């Protein structure tokens, strides 16, 4: 049911939902699941507050998007944060910090019975979160909704990706990221934020192709997997930059990226894929990366190619200790809005 009688020129009302839209779960077509979770982040905290900060910033966005006019009227809705998830995240994050500190000091988790028990709790808790996201997404699909996810760290979308496979069948992932995220149980955490794409390869049989863009921070083990795994095609940041230095256009590079994708596409956008000037507080910023408009152009070309976006996530948006002095949530909110519009345009044209 389309939203009508809504003045897009007026101020964003805090009583309304995300982007100032007068939506409920019932009248919205697209549900944005907020997952305040950062249990396994390995450097800086803060991304668990990403959904909250993005929503706060979203009220300042003007809704006119000339690449996808008026798709907002299909309705975008973000539910309230789940308090049980927040509590579990806070407890398990403290446990993970103890484990990471011990590892940094040269210790082994298996040599410490207390830390070993905490590791078991963390792995069980992360598995429960994945199941919660999967079940919730599956319920929303049964109601005829579209689903996207707002993290939280990059481990959070695994349950949604599994639900996408069950709902839509074969699909590919377009991953925008500074990191390959192909580590095996990084730091002992089965569902580490650094292991999300390895876990997808292992646990989501419907995922036929992983196309990575902007990767510039990875280990030898990940590089070897990229070279040997036929389902992975990686466009390294270094190679992209060298092509541009030598006169290639971003359009030509985008055409090559899109050519690797199957008909159905899931987009996983780690904000650190951007130039860190746009996300300086993200958990693990890395020099290099993209302007936001480059990535929006890529998404636009995916839709123009006739491919169908089946779902997406936006993750690792963190505002540091003082969100008032941070651009991160503002950038995240604007990227999220345009992703919603491209998603809806793709769905309407499917």
Q: For position 251, which CATH number holds?
A: 3.40.800.10
pLDDT digits (tens, 9 = 90+) for 194-239: 999 999 999 999 999 999 999 999 999 999 999 999 999 999 999 9
- 9 lies in some domain: no
Other C-beta atoms within 10 Å of 39: how many?
28
- Measure CA of the first residue to CA of the last residue in the chain; give whole Å: 18
Token pair 């940041």 is at which residue? 237
Residue 270 has pLDDT above 70, yes or no: yes
Q: What pTM was computed for the model?
A: 0.97
pLDDT digits (tens, 9 = 90+) for 61-80: 999 999 999 999 999 999 99
pLDDT digits (tens, 9 = 90+) for 237-258: 999 999 999 999 999 999 999 9
pLDDT digits (tens, 9 = 90+) for 76-118: 999 999 999 999 999 999 999 999 999 999 999 999 999 999 9
- 11 lies in some domain: no
- 167 lies in some domain: yes
- 41 lies in some domain: yes
Assign 348 a pLDDT band (cuts: 50, 70, 90): confident
Residues 6+ apart with CB under 8 A from 23: 3, 16, 17, 75, 76, 77
What are the phi and psi torsion angles at 35 (to 5°)? -120, 95
Q: Residue 306 corresponds to which tokens in the numbers above?
A: 């006739």
CA distances from 198 to 203, 222, 229 (A): 9, 9, 11
Residues in the chain: 350
- 195 lies in some domain: yes
- 226 lies in some domain: yes
Domain that holds residue 50: 18-349
- Give the gyration radius of the chain's Cα atoms: 19
- 2 lies in some domain: no
Number of domains comprising the chain: 1
Assign 324 a pLDDT band (cuts: 50, 70, 90): low
What are the phi and psi torsion angles at 257 (to 5°)? -65, -50
Q: Residue 188 corresponds to which tokens in the numbers above?
A: 């002992």
pLDDT at residue 325 in the model: 64
Measure the CA–CA gap between 239 and 267, rounded to whole angstroms.
21
Q: What is the mean pLDDT of the chain?
A: 95
Starting from the edge strand earliest in sequence, which strands make up the sheet with 30-35, in order?
A: 76-77, 30-35, 146-151, 308-315, 264-270, 171-176, 207-215, 232-236
- 8 lies in some domain: no
């Amino acid at each position: 049911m389309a939203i009508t009688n809504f003045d897009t020129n007026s101020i964003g009302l805090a009583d309304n939902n995300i982007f100032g839209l007068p939506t409920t779960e019932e009248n919205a077509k697209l549900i944005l699941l907020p997952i305040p979770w950062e249990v396994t982040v390995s450097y800086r905290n803060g991304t668990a507050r990403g959904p909250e900060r993005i929503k706060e910033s979203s009220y300042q966005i003007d809704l006119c998007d000339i690449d996808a006019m008026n798709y907002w009227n299909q309705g975008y809705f973000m539910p309230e944060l789940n308090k049980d998830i927040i509590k579990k995240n806070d407890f398990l994050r403290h446990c993970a910090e103890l484990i990471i500190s011990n590892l940094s000091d040269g210790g082994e988790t298996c040599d410490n019975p207390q830390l070993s028990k905490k590791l078991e709790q963390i792995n069980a808790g992360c598995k429960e979160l994945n199941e919660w996201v999967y079940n919730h997404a599956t319920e929303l699909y049964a109601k005829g909704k579209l689903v996207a996810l707002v993290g939280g760290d990059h481990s959070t979308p695994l349950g949604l990706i599994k639900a996408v496979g069950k709902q839509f069948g074969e699909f590919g992932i377009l991953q925008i990221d500074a990191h390959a995220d192909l580590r095996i149980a990084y730091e002992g955490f089965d569902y580490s934020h650094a292991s999300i794409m390895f876990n997808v390869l292992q646990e989501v049989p419907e995922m036929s192709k992983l196309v990575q863009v902007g990767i510039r921070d990875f280990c030898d083990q990940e590089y070897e997997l990229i070279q040997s795994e036929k389902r992975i095609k990686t466009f390294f940041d270094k190679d992209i930059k060298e092509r541009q230095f030598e006169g290639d256009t971003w359009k030509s590079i985008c055409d090559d990226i899109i050519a690797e994708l199957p008909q159905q596409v899931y987009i996983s956008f780690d904000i650190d894929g951007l130039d860190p000037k746009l996300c300086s507080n993200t958990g693990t910023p890395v020099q290099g990366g993209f302007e936001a408009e480059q990535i929006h152009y890529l998404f636009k070309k995916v839709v123009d190619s006739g491919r169908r976006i089946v779902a997406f996530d936006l993750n690792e948006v963190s505002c540091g200790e003082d969100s008032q002095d941070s651009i991160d949530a503002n950038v995240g909110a604007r990227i999220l809005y345009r992703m919603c519009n491209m998603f809806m345009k793709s769905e309407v044209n499917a």
